[in-house]
Structure 1
Amino acid sequence: MTPQLEYPFNTLPAIGETLPVAPGVHWIRMPLPFALNHINLWLIEDGDGVAIVDTGYGLDTTREAWNTILDGLGKPVTQIIVTHCHPDHLGLAQWLSEKTGADVTMTHGEFLAGHALWHQLPGYNVPAMLAQFRRHGLDEARCQALDGRGNAYKRGVPELPSSFRRLLGGDTLAIGGRGWRVITGFGHSPEHASLYCEAAEVLISGDMLLPRISTNVSVFAATPNDDPLGRFLDSIRAFRQLPETTVVLPSHGSPFRNIGLRVDQLVEHHDARCAELLAACTGPRSAGELLGILFPRELDTHQVMFAMGEAIAHLNHLEHKGAVCRLVGNDGILRFVKNN
């Protein structure tokens, strides 16, 4: 029989409600205004209080749901842990911190990246992103559509914490009398923090391991030659060390078991993507020209941003492996061609 992921829960928590998924761990599901229409957040019982893991996108409906949940808890929030800086995770961290009095806890890399995106610092702003996309051959109509969105990050993260408690990979957080080990991962974001509790056999994976979709891996304009896909693959392979009985609590989709199988599936997925691109690079091709190979479906403007970042990431990965080389045409566009 072909191995499959095991999904131990048949029901989803309604907005404003929680669902137990392990002793002392509760699942929350909040809305997102995108094609990917939900995010999972987590509560961990912490003595006489509760710790929050991730906070949701800056929507009034999410604030209302949090108000309902917090009113029903009847206990204080001890800490607010953010896995990474993306708006659906960091979005309401400062609002929750002000509301509950709890500190925000996250890695240094995610704190700084959040501020870089929010304040539109060089290499992390819309003009830099568009310059990178144009250099990689994205058509002008799509670039103009992206430009028209402005700073979309700030809409999802209305305000940012100005201070935080720092997490480091290998740290152990004491929550509810149990240890939660911080596992940092790279490629999806600068210094993503997953949390593993051996006693509860639970991994809060954030976006590093998702059961049904592949995590976005993009190249920032600030680091145009980086290999985030290589970093991501190295990061998820490390999860193979965890027991197969571990319940993985992902940020999107349902909790699942059989962690090693999911890692293998994701590695195979990205290998296949790279193979498709390599086969298409018998002559010089840009990321913009190759976008339809990786994403043959119709993409909205929000999805184009992620798709371009991912196309560049795969081409950079092939270059780092020595499979392709990059050329700059007379038009200034970067193209990649297969090495003989």
Structure 2
Amino acid sequence: MKQGDLVVRKSYGGDVLFRIEAIQQTHAVLKGTDYRLLADSPIPDLSVVRDPEYTSASQQVRIKVNESMKRMHKQRELQSEQTEEEIRVALQQTQPYFEVPGKVLHLDGDNNYLKKSMQLYSSMRVPAHGIHAHESQMSDMLYRLLPQFRPDIVVITGHDGVLKNRRQEDLLSLSSYKNSQNFVNAVRVARDYEKNRDGLIIVAGACQSHFEALLQTGANFASSPGRILIHALDPVYIAIKASYTSIRETINLADVIHGTISGVDGVGGIETLGRHRVGMPKSKVTPAATTLASIRRTT
């Protein structure tokens, strides 16, 4: 057994697929492959997975992901049809228009998840900048990144988890979490930068994060109300929904939460206006191709 191996935990019935991040004597540090979970485990409790595609856990996740992606694309199609109809009725003719979706700044503590996230932003044509940074560095980095990129939406995510042997009443304390304090610090910086919750939409948290603390600090959407595992793409789904919801409309909470892979126990939030704008007329000059999503790494 070595760093990089795919494994499951025997004592948990192999419910989550992990990759070994590091081996420390008798224990291994694990990162979820589908869920934003950071964990450790005794090495004897681990079982190497040779073909992850055929594990029951991976198959179930894949089905949920496909359903979520289909729902997202269908919603975009309906939105485009609705916009075209509104313009036609208002002008009594068909008029070409252009779209200005909300711009995303995505900070992620996991580079593999970041790459998957940026691929999804690109496929949905959401302008996005991705930054790979350790959770503890995010608050300091946001002081520089927010004025530089001036995003409409900021995603603050990575890995988290409830520490072992914590009682129910301990869940109210940030000290019971692996990275929730770091996320709270980053949310505070972002909210100090833009105090209007409709001026900057903040999506924060990872698996089992302190949902209440993140919202109280200023996040619009956060995980995890039920202290459950959330899928790696759940924060991305919310950001895309915010990017393509009109500035004239409130993001439908029930709709956006239902659309995530983890559901109501995984993510929650408050009423928030969208960041999508429509303009006209559409330029007749074809601009040079531009990159919608880009990734930057930190050292």
Please, what TM-score do these two structures have when normalized by structure 1?
Answer: 0.24
Which of 1 and 2 has higher RCO (CA within 8 Å, sep 6+)? 2
